[in-house]
Amino acid sequence: VIRVRCDCEMVVKQVAGECKVNAATLKPLHDTLKAAMATFGAARSLTLDYVQRAENGVAHELANRACATEIAPVAPADVTAPP
């Protein structure tokens, strides 16, 4: 079981299909995440859960650091399930 915890309720709702992704810049990221979840979810049980930011302080800080770092985007085709 892989459990992903996210402190952005909107992202959790967008991934679940409860809310629409309106920002054009976010649509490719959303597509990549959905492809990764489908790939990993097929091999294992995968969930994305909302957790309040106050309960997720360390992860939030790490995410802020990652956002400040320039990385190359990953195309959905680059995502593969682990062995």
pLDDT along the chain (83 residues), means of 10: 84 90 90 83 76 83 80 61 56
Residue pair 76/35 in contact (Cβ under 8 Å)? The answer is yes
- pLDDT over 90 percentage in the chain: 10
pLDDT of residue 79: 55
Cα–Cα distance, 45 to 62 (Å, whole number)? 25
| pLDDT at residue number 67 | 81
Calpha distance 60→51 (Å, rounded): 11
Of 15, 38, 16, 36, nearest to 26 (Cα)? 15
Residue-level pLDDT at 73: 66
